[in-house]
Copies of this chain bind each other. A is one copy, B any other.
């Protein structure tokens, strides 16, 4: 691949100039999403929703292949249930929406729109579970949740978002821990194998863990602007909720026990991650496996005899597995179409004109590298399939390289604080483990400990932030 496309301005603010504005321009101009009349609530438009459908399809299969089943629990949760687990209510009560009236009547008890479903699900598990023979419970639901947010940005932080939430029960702590880590691993594979987003996995500090969890595990991705995105979390909830909700079972020895409990979730936030990891100043760059349209075919001189027929013939030859759109609209020139589909991030463009047909070839354009080349019509299906895989690998590699460039070792607090201002990224350093020290990092730099990674490196004996004895190697970053 050789020839580069000439530069074209898409009327998108360059990301180097104003990253948040670049993001807003991209999501609105590419029809992923729109603002709604309800502050903080977004409308996910068909092009954005189709990305979510591709994520759902992949994940749902992974969940089912590991024995999970889907179900559906009520949208509204009585206030008394939300209050049963102490940490949980403290964490969520400030950000829930309250239903106080049904029809014309005031309700005897307020109901909150679910911010997450541990409490309502635990109340049902308490009713259902009797014996160890029924365990494990491996259930998941796909739904929307509401968390009243003051500052919102589509996909990244909105007052309503779509997600999946898994909720499982186990006989032993070890099984719950294994489940927690298994689901995090599936999340990591979703990020890397489906979305071409490299992630760091590890444990959250106590300050950053889920309200009511024993331990929270996370995957963290780094965006173009050097800020981290928490892209999925998996919680070992221990027996916190199962005790509060009096979930019990008769164990193998005939004794009454509380089961061990996990929950795990990812949301439409992942779409924000795709945009901010792969996008460029021309707009979206969609990884092939989540792209709603993987190949756009554009006829050149489409009124000439045989051109459109050939395009439809080639589409047929490419088969049903590849998601293809033919843009044969008559109101726009090929050049206009090129730009439109580039902005929308379609991984491959195929151009077919009279001369191409004469030469038994087509022109293939790669969105990620902006390279163009002519290839034979023979074996086009194999060429395209291979190219889609290549683009995936190439995007993942590029993202990994960018992340590594923006990852550095902390030398001292002052240097770290300065870098967080001037060149934010993943900062690696040692941490003492104290909450006071963690609070201080945030107060001074607005960065937070993203995770204590599974892959620990020995970077010294002293905490880089306070000089006390070091306990963990951590990743620190500003975050969405």
Contact = CB atoms under 8 A, between A and B. Distances in A.
A139 interface: yes
A99 interface: yes
Given A38-B78, A76-B113, A96-B102, 10 more contacts: A34-B124, A34-B127, A34-B128, A36-B74, A36-B123, A44-B72, A45-B71, A46-B69, A46-B139, A97-B102
Given A43-B124, A53-B70, A103-B96, A146 B38 contact: no
Contacts of A97: 76, 99, 101-102, 111
Nearest 10 interchain pairs by C-beta: A46-B69, A41-B74, A102-B148, A44-B72, A98-B101, A103-B148, A100-B100, A49-B71, A97-B99, A36-B74
B103 A101 contact: no
Contacts of A123: 36-37
Given A43-B124, A113-B113, A73 B103 contact: no
A127 B133 CA distance: 56
A149 B98 CA distance: 19
Interface string A160-182: 10100000000000000000000
Which one of A96, A103, A127, A128 has the highest number of Cβ atoms from chain B below 10 Å of its Cβ? A103
A70 B50 contact: yes
Interface in A27-59: 34, 36-38, 41-46, 48-50, 52-53
A148 B34 CA distance: 29
Interface in A172-213: none
Interface residues on A, range: 35 or more
A36 B73 contact: yes
A250 B43 CA distance: 24
A417 interface: no
B124 A74 contact: no
B42 A160 contact: no
A51 to B, nearest CB: 11
20 contacts: A34-B124, A36-B73, A36-B74, A36-B123, A37-B78, A38-B78, A43-B71, A43-B74, A46-B69, A46-B139, A49-B71, A49-B72, A52-B72, A94-B103, A95-B103, A99-B99, A99-B100, A100-B100, A102-B148, A102-B159
Contacts of A113: 75-76, 99, 113
Contacts of A76: 38, 41, 97, 113, 146, 160
Given A103-B148, A124-B34, A148-B102, A74 B160 contact: yes
Please state the number of chain copies in the assembly.
2
A127 to B, nearest CB: 7
B124 A38 contact: no
Interface in A112-142: 113, 120, 123-124, 127-128, 133, 139
Contacts of A48: 71
Contacts of A468: none
A73 to B, nearest CB: 5
A38 B38 CA distance: 26
A304 to B, nearest CB: 24
A144 B146 contact: no
A148 B331 CA distance: 49
Nearest to A160: B75
A34 B94 CA distance: 30
Contacts of A120: 36-38
Contacts of A111: 38, 97
A150 to B, nearest CB: 9
A154 to B, nearest CB: 12
Nearest to A95: B103
Nearest to A47: B69
Interface in A58-74: 69-74
Interface in A319-348: 331
